[in-house]
């Protein structure tokens, strides 16, 4: 039985089809004061998978409510799939006095689940914040799927060194190409400085690979540097299409030839499904 959060229905439907599991009926509403209301319909099962990207504070609350409703319905084995785990970038107290927000939220999620699965969290170390067994799924290789078959001397580029392993995952699945990384310094929440590498991209097709596109600042700075250096075409792929404010149009203005993301967050660009990778993890006992 798959129980979907309101923001993760496309992925939940695909996961249910992949696993040949039924989808639980769920009612999502609000009380007059704005508080969230969920109601799980009749479910004759003792095992369930809750699929809920915590893309907002409301989505976090809704997940906790769904977990509690599952327990109330007598479901004994609950697995929580966080296709996108919100607050995962706050995995340490960067300044004195700050919380480790990822840990705080993991603690809340822990109380209603027997297992956690999450997809490409920004820092894999967040797995340690969960008490029940937690599995990390890598959906990045699937991002090679929609790329044109005949890329010209492709370069798989990480816009910062932290994304190099993702660029390698996509290149390996694509089958051919060079891997490279730029250096990035974040100046404010939505401004970054990119230091391009020495690689010659003139006449090459470039695929920029990142885990998250949030404000789009990282990507647009990387695209600009590539365009200045004569890249033939620029494709952008990411796991989580957070797309804050004008991020999507920022990318279009920067000039791209294709944009593909997974369905951990539902956007028009989320044409690549993380469902097969999650299904494989669900079929495997946690280590
Ligand atoms: C940070 O290191 C991540 O890998 C992404 O590069 C970052 O989250 C992208 O954020 P934005 O789109 O706001 O530049």
Q: Among 10, 244, 277, 259, which residue's Cα sits nearest to residue 118?
A: 277
Tokens of 86: 């919100």
Output the CA 211–ligand 1 centroid distance in Å: 8
Residue 192 alpha carbon to ligand 1 centre in Å: 9
In this prediction, the residues of the chain whose per-residue pLDDT falls under 50 are none
Q: How far apart are CA 67 and CA 116, in angstroms?
A: 12
pLDDT score recorded for residue 138: 97
Residue 198: which residues within 8 A CB-CB, separation 6 or more?
none
User: In terms of C-beta distances under 8 Å and separation of at least 24 residues, what long-range contacts does 266-272 make, across chains too?
Assistant: 266/7, 266/8, 266/9, 266/10, 266/11, 267/241, 267/243, 269/241, 270/10, 270/241, 271/146, 272/139, 272/142, 272/143, 272/145, 272/146
pLDDT at position 256: 97
Distance of alpha carbon 44 from alpha carbon 7, whole angstroms: 24
Q: What is the pLDDT of residues 2-17, one digit of tens each?
A: 999 999 999 999 999 9
Model pLDDT, residue 17? 98
Q: Is 139 within 8 Å of 275 (Cβ atoms)?
A: no
Q: Which atom of ligand 1 is nearest to the CA of 159?
A: 6
The per-residue pLDDT for 287 is 77
Pocket probe for ligand 1: among 87, 90, 184, 213, the residue whose CB has the most ligand atoms within 8 Å is 213
pTM of the model: 0.95
For residue 214, the CA-to-ligand 1 centroid distance in Å is 6
CA of 218 to the centre of ligand 1 (A): 6
pLDDT at 128: 97
Whole-number pLDDT of residue 194: 87
184 is catalytic: yes
**Looking at residue 136, what DSSP letter applies?**
E
Question: In ligand 1, which atom is closest to the CA atom of 213?
Answer: 12
Atom 2, ligand 1: residue with shortest CA distance: 162
21: left (phi over 0), alpha (psi -120 to 50) or beta: beta
How much is the pLDDT for 286? 85
Pocket test for ligand 1, best of 140, 190, 218 (most atoms within 8 A of CB): 218
Between the CA of 29 and the centroid of ligand 1 the distance, in Å, is 32
Question: Which member of 92, 95, 184, 250 is catalytic?
Answer: 184
Nearest residue by C-alpha to atom 9 in ligand 1 = 213
Ligand 1 pocket, Cβ-based, cut-off 6 angstroms: 122, 160, 162-163, 192, 210-218
∠ Cα 22 24 27 (to 5°): 155
> Which backbone phi and psi does 222 adopt, to 5 degrees?
-65, -40
Which residue owns the Cα nearest ligand 1 atom 7? Answer: 212
- For atom 13 of ligand 1, the residue with the nearest CA is 215
Atom of ligand 1 nearest to the CA of 214: 12
What is the C-alpha to C-alpha distance for residues 53 and 50, in angstroms, rounded to an integer?
10
User: Is the Cα torsion angle 90, 28, 117, 163 positive or negative in sign?
Assistant: negative
- Please tell me the distance between residue 33's alpha carbon and the centre of ligand 1 in angstroms: 35
* Residue among 76, 82, 77 nearest 102 (CA): 82
Position in ligand 1 atom list of the atom nearest CA 216 = 12
Residues in the chain: 287
* Residues 6 or more apart whose Cβ sits within 8 Å of residue 234: 205, 206, 208, 223, 226, 227, 255, 256, 257
């Amino acid at each position: 039985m798959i129980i979907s959060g309101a923001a993760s229905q496309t992925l939940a439907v695909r996961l249910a089809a992949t696993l040949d599991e039924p989808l639980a009926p769920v009612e999502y509403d609000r009380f007059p004061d704005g508080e969230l209301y969920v109601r799980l319909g009749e479910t004759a099962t003792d095992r369930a998978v809750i699929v809920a990207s915590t893309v907002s504070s409301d989505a976090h609350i809704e997940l906790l409510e769904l977990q509690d409703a599952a327990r109330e319905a007598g479901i004994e084995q609950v697995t929580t799939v966080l296709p996108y785990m919100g607050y995962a970038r706050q995995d340490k107290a960067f300044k004195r006095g700050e919380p480790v927000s990822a840990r705080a939220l993991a603690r809340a999620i822990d109380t209603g689940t027997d297992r956690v699965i999450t997809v490409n969290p920004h820092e894999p170390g967040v797995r340690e914040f969960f008490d029940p067994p937690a599995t990390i799924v890598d959906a990045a290789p699937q991002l090679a799927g929609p790329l044109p078959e005949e890329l010209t001397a492709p370069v798989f580029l990480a816009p910062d060194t932290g994304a190099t392993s993702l660029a390698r995952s996509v290149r390996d699945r694509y089958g051919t190409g060079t891997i490279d990384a730029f250096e990035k310094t974040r100046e404010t929440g939505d401004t970054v400085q990119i230091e391009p590498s020495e690689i010659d991209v003139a006449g090459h097709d470039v695929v920029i690979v990142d885990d998250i596109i949030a404000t789009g600042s990282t990507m647009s700075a990387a695209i600009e540097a590539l365009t200045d250096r004569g890249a033939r075409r620029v494709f952008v792929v990411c796991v989580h299409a957070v797309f804050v404010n004008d991020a999507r149009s920022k990318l279009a203005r920067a000039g791209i030839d294709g944009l593909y993301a997974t369905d951990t967050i539902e956007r028009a660009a989320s044409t690549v499904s993380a469902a097969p990778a999650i299904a494989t993890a669900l079929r495997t006992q946690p280590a």
